Structure 1
Amino acid sequence: MANVDAIIEQILAASRAKGGRALSSERTYADEPILLRGSQLASYLPEPIRQMRALARRSETRTWSDARLFVEQGHLMEGFEDDFPYEGEFSSYFPTYESMTNPQLRGYFTWRARVRRGEVEQTSLSFAFVYLYELVNGIGATPGEEAFRAIESFWQAYRAFDPTLDRYVRPWLVDYVAYHGLPVAWARPYLNSAHDRSVAVLRRAEQRALEGAPPKGRRRAPRAFDVDPAADDALLAALDALSTHRICEGRLYRDDPDAVRGVTCAVFADLARHYASNRSQGLTESLFGTRHAMPHLMFASAVFYPGGRHADCVVELDETCRYICQNGIWTCDSLHDGGVRSAKLGQVLRAVDRQLRLALDHPNPLKGHADPKYLVKIIDRAIGDYLAWRSAHAPRRIEIDLSKLAGIRSTAAETREALLVDEERSQDEVPIDVTKPVDTQDGPAPDLGLTAEELSLLHDLLGGRPPSAAGTDLLVDSINEKLFDLLGDTAVEFDADGHPALVEDYVEDISDALLPK
């Protein structure tokens, strides 16, 4: 069969050529005939679409649900591609093939053919939903990893045109993983469980607080702060994420984060013990409820037909969420509190923020609210414990008066001399006298044990002259070792250029020892 496009182009070319000879030179333009394929005519309806329409009119399909009819028609049209110029719009709340007109159907299958070739173009949002419904039901992609990746990639591409898809496709991807038994790691990026994970942090912290509570009848010991900084950081972040009062965004936290963290965590622990003793529900439970199973509609807001009963299964998506299928009925075991921030927790954190600013005399105080007296008492006690702990663990400032070191050394030398026994004195015929002049020409100084080279180096440094002795590094080490008893510290060090120099604090001591006045 001849190529239709080539025949159309040949006819148009002949018409243009004929018009060019027949028309006078005064004509600047002329109408040209518009030739279309028969399949591109509005009145033309491809045979697969006729069959799909006929399927909906059969007597046996009258008892089918809309979802089943959509899936059956989708499998019938799975490999169909059209080439129909369509510029219209299509909008439907639950879009299906049956809700489209014939031109809309042809426009959809033309757009879908380009999408399958990797050409994702913006169109009516209802067309995008129909394409996603097909993939969810295994139309156009093998159920399992192939369909999951197809849904994921199309959504990532089309959300650039319309991010409305996010609120639907994210939970559908989670449902798809659970329904088809795919690796749960694929679902975790799309699992909306940040709120539930923060609540889980609070539950664990509450349990630790109750386990560490003193026996009844005994007073609570002052809290030991900064025992587990990582746990305190996690608890403060969870409290800040769940509260209507964002304490970590306040000025006090920027100025003194350690105080905010320590006091807030202490208040939470004491408040947890208070609720355990005086309330029927625990602190976290009273704020966010309990985790429990509720019926779950798989692929909610999508046109989905399962085709049969799903096998019983349990899918642990993460520590906060679990899907359970029993007798074909799905439930979701998780925290069903709506994921909103707690105003009650916000009141607690604001009271902590306010009272701590007052205690620290912060320049930006918060206005007072009518907070419960027991809450203010708990907060003030935690603040007192923290400030006492911080004062006890504050670094000690030690100042050394270097001017008194010489006197201390002299007293120490006299004390040592007084403690020597006669046998120790007899070993040295000449008593050590650090004030005796040293003869650098007669070898080692008998009092300090310095060699001629070492003495020469020290005299050069005292006189501000470059050292004349060789092997300076070894001499410096030896000098420092021999003068340690005199100074109790290093006498010679190397400057930034690598040259030996006397430590400034000990120049006078060394000069007095070598060059007495």
Structure 2
Amino acid sequence: MPRADELIQQLMANLRPAQAEVLRGPTYQDEPILRTGRQLLKASRERASWDAARGAGGAPVPRARGGGVANACAAAPFGQRPRPSWLAPSLAQASPSPSVDLPDDLRRMRALARGRGQDGRCHGGAALFYRQAALMAAYEDDLPFHGSFVSYYPTYEDLPDAVLRGYFTWRALFRTGELPRAPLTFVFIHAYELICGVGAAPGAATLHELGRLFEGYGQAAEGAALGRYLPRWMRDYAVYHELSAADVRAALTPEASGSVTGEGRGLLSSVSVLARAQSALLAQERGGRPVGWDDVARAQDAVAPDRALPSRNDLVRALDAASTYHILRSRAMRLHGDVLADVLPAVFARLVDHCRVRRRTNLVEGLFGAPVTHPYLMFSAAVFWEAARHPDARVSLPSGEVFACQDGRWTLRRPCEAHAPSRKLGAVLHAVDVALRERTGDLPALKPRATPKFVQRIIEDEMDACLSRRTAARAAWVTIDRGALGRIRASAGRTREALLTDEEREEGPSRPVVATAFAPSALGNEPSPAVASEAAFGPAALGTTSRPAAPEGGAVALSPTQRRIVGALLRQPPDDDALCELAREGVVMSLELDTINEAFLDVVGDTVVAFDDDAPRLVEDYVDEVRELLS
């Protein structure tokens, strides 16, 4: 016995029997794991002769597009596509079911197949599937299938008769809006139909149906495979048919549309925002000092829309998503978010300018790599038949990815080479957080990380400049407490009264005091002025107390608007809606309340309206007096 055969037998004896079995066709067969060179050469010749015979009797084998097993499987017909060593040529397991009669429509569909190969697959591949799907586009059945069925790359020819009728029964119910329970194989076959343009109008309507499949079956535990493939196929469908972002949003839920367009999430979208901000900064004229964010913001209207400067909030969110340090989750952002919203864009602008002057590579490419373009296979790992070559096209996604088709071949341009957030950018954001905590002192200090000296200097300069601007702005603020004006007047009145002598009090006022009261008119509800005599406020009325008595008739000098304000404040609880209505009518509430306090100050001797949490309220001690004076 040759030495090679002896070694093989020794190895096989040490392996478990199950490890010497592979799945081949619909049944299990023993097959040696290790082979000699002569055995491999013999198997290769047998395979070549079988392929030649099959190619002569069937359709020509197309060249697989792209690279990898999944791409080759998607491009070549099922009977001829290559398969990895770990994947069985066919795996179909169905629950036992009695034989059923096929309707004539299904028999005609079966007749389109020309025969089966040695691996059990039907000749024709994706082209046959497309022809059969087009023939059965409107077919419906009424024989549900309640068993289980599993198949790799399933087509109609892989389904037994009972399972096939169950599929068309399930599809009829799904088209009516129901989500009946079904094997995952059914969902994949229907997805292939929709991708090939069968069963729904091409465009947003088909994308909506794919979204229903994803929402109904991709979220379940058994739909993990569907959740991996279907979002990519949905994106490919939107690109292939050149759907706009608005069409995608209208056809899908917000979560699904975000995964299709890449808008507002993910590394690529964040890098696109940073690259757009960098382009806008570099497009500005430089006047001897580093370009700042505010400098570009003033010229933003003159920038082209596709290169316009993003907002500060968008930039901060992009910096957070593209870095390993998430500053949006930091306590510093919750307490000093306004400071960080100023410092982070300023630091970004300084770093962009530094790389422009001192580096050959710009900031974004230095952090994430340059944009990269590579071939792309549409609907990879799906059964897809392209009836006609796609015209040349160029489609840009909100994520920054650009798909281009030329001579029927697709390419994908990504905004960057990186597939993970940047550690260098994370170190910069961490250093900003450290510098802010050191200067404010109201948060626990963070342990500094290693950062270049020029980066640390830029961060410290921008942080100090921002805090200095805010300190100067606060020093220039003037705050007027209008609620304190009445208290000041009341205090001045009491001081004046305390300084008067008895003789000065007996002399009374040096000039007559006239108060205008409003009484109902005989002609209706129009108020008419009435003049109160001097005796109402004379010395006899003052007596020996420091508080003036109410005028005769119980009236104070208030306008109709002021009476409405006081009336609203007298209600329990105060009628804030009425006050808001007055404000909408153009009434300056602060001025009217000052006038009301002045009017009652001469009668009550104190402020009757004060502010409670920025809302005007009557002082509780004077509510009864105010109601009596207005009666």
Q: TM-score surpassing 0.5?
A: yes
Report the AA paired with residue 605 of structure 2.
Answer: L
Contact in 2 for aligned 1:311/1:328 (Cα 8 Å) = yes
Residues 1:52 and 2:109 are matched in the alignment:
yes
Say which structure, 1 or 2, has more relative contact order (CA 8 Å, 6+ apart): 1
Q: 1:275 aligns with which of 351, 355, 359?
A: 355
The change in CA–CA distance for 1:141 and 1:440 in structure 2 (over 3 A counts) is: same
Q: 1:493 aligns with which of 598, 601, 609?
A: 598
Alignment partners' CA distance in 2, 1:491 and 1:123: 76
> Residue 130 of structure 1: CA displacement?
0.4
> Residue 277 of structure 1: CA displacement?
1.5
Report the AA paired with residue 255 of structure 1.
Answer: L
Alignment partners' CA distance in 1, 2:559 and 2:535: 8
> Residue 63 of structure 1: CA displacement?
11
3-state SS, counterpart of residue 256 of structure 1: helix
Q: Corresponding residue for 1:502?
A: 605
> Residue 285 of structure 1: CA displacement?
2.0
> Residue 346 of structure 1: CA displacement?
0.9
Q: How does 1:238-317 map to 2 (within 5 A)?
A: 238-291=318-371, 293-317=373-397
Deviations 1:306-352 (A, max 9, x none): 11112233344448344333222233344254653222211111111
Alignment partners' CA distance in 2, 1:221 and 1:160: 48
Residues 1:89 and 2:141 are matched in the alignment:
no
Contact in 1 for aligned 2:274/2:319 (Cα 8 Å) = yes
The change in CA–CA distance for 1:102 and 1:391 in structure 2 (over 3 A counts) is: same
The change in CA–CA distance for 1:183 and 1:349 in structure 2 (over 3 A counts) is: closer
Residues 1:369 and 2:449 are matched in the alignment:
yes
The change in CA–CA distance for 1:200 and 1:181 in structure 2 (over 3 A counts) is: closer
Alignment partners' CA distance in 1, 2:159 and 2:263: 37
Q: Corresponding residue for 1:113?
A: 172
Q: Corresponding residue for 2:247?
A: 186
Report the AA paired with residue 201 of structure 1.
Answer: V
Q: Corresponding residue for 1:423?
A: none
Alignment partners' CA distance in 2, 1:355 and 1:318: 34
Q: Corresponding residue for 2:233?
A: 172
> Residue 232 of structure 1: CA displacement?
2.3
Report the AA paired with residue 109 of structure 2.
Answer: M
3-state SS, counterpart of residue 343 of structure 2: helix
Contact in 1 for aligned 2:167/2:186 (Cα 8 Å) = yes
C-alpha RMSD of the superposition: 4.5
Residues 1:473 and 2:548 are matched in the alignment:
no
The change in CA–CA distance for 1:211 and 1:173 in structure 2 (over 3 A counts) is: closer
3-state SS, counterpart of residue 325 of structure 1: strand
The change in CA–CA distance for 1:205 and 1:115 in structure 2 (over 3 A counts) is: closer
Q: How does 1:26-41 map to 2 (within 5 A)?
A: 41=98
Report the AA paired with residue 123 of structure 1.
Answer: A
The change in CA–CA distance for 1:283 and 1:252 in structure 2 (over 3 A counts) is: same
Residues 1:128 and 2:187 are matched in the alignment:
yes
> Residue 166 of structure 1: CA displacement?
3.9
Q: Corresponding residue for 2:273?
A: 201
> Residue 245 of structure 1: CA displacement?
0.6
Alignment partners' CA distance in 1, 2:187 and 2:337: 48
Contact in 1 for aligned 2:558/2:599 (Cα 8 Å) = no
The change in CA–CA distance for 1:388 and 1:328 in structure 2 (over 3 A counts) is: same
**TM-score computed with the length of structure 2 as normaliser:** 0.56
Q: Corresponding residue for 2:131?
A: 72
Q: Corresponding residue for 1:101?
A: 160
Alignment partners' CA distance in 1, 2:399 and 2:292: 33
3-state SS, counterpart of residue 557 of structure 2: helix
Q: Corresponding residue for 2:569?
A: none
Q: Corresponding residue for 1:425?
A: none
Give me the identity figure in percent: 34
> Residue 249 of structure 1: CA displacement?
0.7
Deviations 1:413-466 (A, max 9, x none): xxxxxxxxxxxxxxxxxxxxxx96685599638xxxx98378559959943522
The change in CA–CA distance for 1:437 and 1:51 in structure 2 (over 3 A counts) is: closer
> Residue 288 of structure 1: CA displacement?
2.7
3-state SS, counterpart of residue 295 of structure 1: strand
Q: Corresponding residue for 1:35?
A: none
3-state SS, counterpart of residue 550 of structure 2: coil
Residues 1:148 and 2:207 are matched in the alignment:
yes
The change in CA–CA distance for 1:172 and 1:309 in structure 2 (over 3 A counts) is: same
> Residue 45 of structure 1: CA displacement?
4.2
**TM-score computed with the length of structure 1 as normaliser:** 0.67
The runs of 5 or more residues in structure 2 that have no matched partner are: 1-96, 250-256, 299-308, 497-502, 514-531, 562-593, 609-631
Residues 1:394 and 2:479 are matched in the alignment:
no
Q: Corresponding residue for 1:4?
A: none
Deviations 1:274-315 (A, max 9, x none): 111121111112223344554332223321101111223334
Contact in 2 for aligned 1:453/1:469 (Cα 8 Å) = no
Count how many residue pairs are aligned between Structure 1 and Structure 2.
419
Deviations 1:126-161 (A, max 9, x none): 211101111221223343454333333343333454
Contact in 2 for aligned 1:323/1:330 (Cα 8 Å) = yes
Report the AA paired with residue 193 of structure 2.
Answer: E
Contact in 2 for aligned 1:351/1:376 (Cα 8 Å) = yes
The change in CA–CA distance for 1:306 and 1:232 in structure 2 (over 3 A counts) is: same
3-state SS, counterpart of residue 493 of structure 1: helix
Please identify, of 283-292 and 218-227, the stretch whose mean Cα deviation from structure 2 is larger. 218-227
> Residue 394 of structure 1: CA displacement?
1.7
The change in CA–CA distance for 1:455 and 1:208 in structure 2 (over 3 A counts) is: farther
Q: 2:198 aligns with which of 126, 132, 139?
A: 139
3-state SS, counterpart of residue 356 of structure 1: helix
The change in CA–CA distance for 1:150 and 1:236 in structure 2 (over 3 A counts) is: closer
The change in CA–CA distance for 1:167 and 1:185 in structure 2 (over 3 A counts) is: farther
Alignment partners' CA distance in 1, 2:145 and 2:450: 65
Deviations 1:233-271 (A, max 9, x none): 222122112211111111111222122222222221211
